[in-house]
Structure 1
Amino acid sequence: MKPKIVQICALDSTIYKMLNKLNQKSLDEGFEVHCICSDGDYVERLKKLGYKVHPIQIDRKISLASNFKSVLKISKKLRDIKPDIVHVHTPIAALLGRIASKISRVNTTIYTAHGFYFHEGMSRIKYSLFYNIEKYAGRFLTDYIFTQSEEDFKLSKDGHFLSKNNRNNYLHISNGIDLEVRFNFQNYNASNKESIFENYNLSENTLILSFIGRMVKEKGIIDLIEAMESLNDYNDIHLFAIGGLPKSERDNSLSNLIEEGYHKNISFTGSIENVEDYLYSSDIFILPSYREGMPRSIIEAMAMKNAIIATDIRGSREEVVNNYNGFLIALESPEQIKEKILELYSDRKKLSDFKINSFERAKNLYDENKVVEKQCEIFKEVIS
């Protein structure tokens, strides 16, 4: 009988885009892979990949009635599946999944902290509240904690987030991407870049900027738009803003700004499947986010030879070495974004050096295969 592992996320897209390599490796290692997530456009794709998918609504916000229903439905499903391992992801889904796993008496529960919800930008009261939720959910509901960020690894270990019996079960897995195929700069076709320039009527000497993320305020997109508006006089600077406006997080003022406003030096692409084409065409990737875990988008941009401008926050500051492969800037600072864009616009030697350094750093540090292997070793250890 095959060992069973259940992956729990709020969104089906998260499982498809971020966990596919791990799940494929789990299948190869002989596991039966189950996925519990909200229903969505990716469910059928996940089924075709060989996973058993169980759609259960999991909200991404605290809503006691809805959260309680989710716990009941997840725990019922876990009792039916009888998994050897439950592996949870993303803040709310991870908490609800761990409660359900405890109720269902699953043998091993693993939590991957893609980025703890608490962060230095919060008020002391709010930080303390979410810190303690993470800490005690770890101590009473979790057997292993995997962290992508080194800061989170140190913080959880020093804070004794796991019980004494599990005190050796912290693992820093980092984050990684597909450097062999999808984000392999060396194998890329330059004609893709030419097509993008042609489609958007851009001259070949245009400095291309890129942003990837949900179009919500906390990703810093408003700060970036403000910075770009102050660069309207530069006809040879253009931004590709890649990402959608999630209905569950829709900000009407931001929606209007994006959908109705005219921005001559910005192209809003919406959600697209071929982000690698745009990153290959880009010179500078900008992520002025207020909170991150260990952002994959920065790694993807580094692998495609982009200089990086990012806020000085957890995760981003592990990937970006200031003045080496990019710049770290203050939160909510359109003026600093503009300043750093113009510095690289004016100094093409520095821009070139940053791009090469990004590429080497991504290649040396962020191979998805190594991240997956670390996790699978624990899975195999658990069932042995």
Structure 2
Amino acid sequence: MQSRKKIVLVATVASSIYGFRQPLIAELQKRGYHIYAFVSEYMQTELDKIWAMGVTVIPYQLNRGGLNPIADVWATYKLANQIRRIQPDLVFSYFSKPVIFGTLAAKMARVPKIFAMLEGLGYTFTEQPEGFSRKAKIIRKIQVILYRLSLPLADKVIFLNPDDPRDLLEKHQIKVKKVEVLGGIGLNLSDYPYQPVLQTENIRFLFIGRLLKEKGIHEFIAAAKIVKARYPNTIFTVLGAIDKMNLGALSQTELDSCIQTSLIEYPGQVSNVSEWIVNSQVFVLPSYREGVPRSTQEAMAVGRAVITTDVPGCRETVVNGLNGFLIPVWDSQVLAEKMIYFIENPEQITLMGNESYRIAQKKFDVDKINQRLISFLEL
């Protein structure tokens, strides 16, 4: 009897397997593949969820944020041994560190096919209003060196948007065998069904994301102050957690002040994101850079107009003036002007929201995207 073919996924957080890869895994299983998932950050309950999917889950060591070369070399050697014992037909790594060290380990293990996917370039490639910090420049140089070592070993390198390969491969002269652009990891659209925009007197602008500088939270709050000065009953809702370890994060003091002055409505981190999208009129993400933001895709699938920045990843979601607006990065004044446009032209909220829905159906259906991804993996 012929043994089933094996595919290894190398990731970091366990939640990415059951949260974002479940439709892909189900399709691969239907095609007769057995899936192994390597995760480095997990809780036992998360491992149980992955096992319940029929996936063999294997914890491994990887310091996602560390820069200890000796520890990374040792972890790569151990990962290669773990992969070698499985003898997979294919290794598919995603996220920055798994792409680097998973690709190196797969080559050491002599895996026949090796694929890597970068879902974004991260904060070291994300320009800030004051320019790149010295630390970010150093880390980026190290990353580029590691990408030069690892990416040429992959049979294909997959990106979500067309800007990332230009900013990484072309600017830093990294030669790879082949590049593909996926266009987003997609959504199960049935989880985010279209809902007509609620006709209310006071418009709600919704922000979803970690309360980080590079997500544009400071611009969102600054724009809210401008809008509230003219239209005080406008509602600004923020969903997401503070990252206290991040220097650019919104501080607890700043957040408390915004809540106490009724500038924003802050439910925190919620599990019913789709309900909050349904109860909003316009989605706002003033991010500095993305892969292709999932939160925006969710809002578009529900049928909401979008205001976002004209930066890599974000510009893949909005056709300016059709389903929302692309604004200059870091510009809270222009953001406020576009918010006021929707307040003063409320009929555009429904018209643009309907266009968002049509774009989401065409571009972000996870079944269509997974068929493309599987073709990229040559399965």
Structure 1 pair 322/59, CA: closer, same or farther in 2 (3 Å)?
Answer: farther
TM-score of the superposed pair, with normalisation by structure 1: 0.83
> How far did residue 68 of structure 1 move?
3.9
- The share of aligned pairs that are identical, in percent, is 24
* 1:63 partnered with 2:62: no
Aligned to 1:221: 217
Q: 1:135·1:156 contact (CA, 8 Å) conserved in 2?
A: no
The one of 204, 211, 222 aligned to 1:208: 204
> How far did residue 228 of structure 1 move?
2.0
Superposed CA offset, 1:290-340 (max 9, x none): 121111211111111111111111111121122221112222222222221
SS of the aligned residue for 1:360 comes to helix
Partners of 1:257 and 1:96 in 2: CA distance: 39
Partners of 2:373 and 2:313 in 1: CA distance: 20
> How far did residue 267 of structure 1 move?
2.5
Superposed CA offset, 1:152-172 (max 9, x none): 356678677454xx3xx3222
Partners of 2:80 and 2:256 in 1: CA distance: 41
The one of 21, 24, 29 aligned to 1:22: 24
Aligned to 1:199: none
SS of the aligned residue for 1:181 comes to helix
Q: 2:12·2:64 contact (CA, 8 Å) conserved in 1?
A: yes
The one of 184, 187, 190 aligned to 1:178: 187
Residue 115 of structure 1 aligns with an amino acid whose one-letter code is: G
Q: 2:151·2:157 contact (CA, 8 Å) conserved in 1?
A: no
* 1:48 partnered with 2:60: no
Unmatched tracts of structure 1, length 5 or more:
195-202
* 1:100 partnered with 2:97: no
Partners of 1:60 and 1:220 in 2: CA distance: 24
Partners of 1:380 and 1:140 in 2: CA distance: 18
Partners of 1:103 and 1:151 in 2: CA distance: 30
Q: 2:327·2:334 contact (CA, 8 Å) conserved in 1?
A: yes
Aligned to 1:269: 267
Aligned to 1:241: 238
The one of 329, 342, 350 aligned to 1:331: 329
The number of residue pairs the alignment matches comes to 364
Aligned to 2:278: 280
> How far did residue 249 of structure 1 move?
4.2
TM-score of the superposed pair, with normalisation by structure 2: 0.84
SS of the aligned residue for 1:328 comes to strand
Partners of 1:292 and 1:73 in 2: CA distance: 32
Q: 2:219·2:332 contact (CA, 8 Å) conserved in 1?
A: yes
Residue 18 of structure 2 aligns with an amino acid whose one-letter code is: Y
Structure 1 pair 79/131, CA: closer, same or farther in 2 (3 Å)?
Answer: closer
Partners of 2:333 and 2:201 in 1: CA distance: 24
Unmatched tracts of structure 2, length 5 or more:
none
Q: 2:244·2:251 contact (CA, 8 Å) conserved in 1?
A: no
Residue 54 of structure 1 aligns with an amino acid whose one-letter code is: I
Structure 1 pair 110/284, CA: closer, same or farther in 2 (3 Å)?
Answer: same
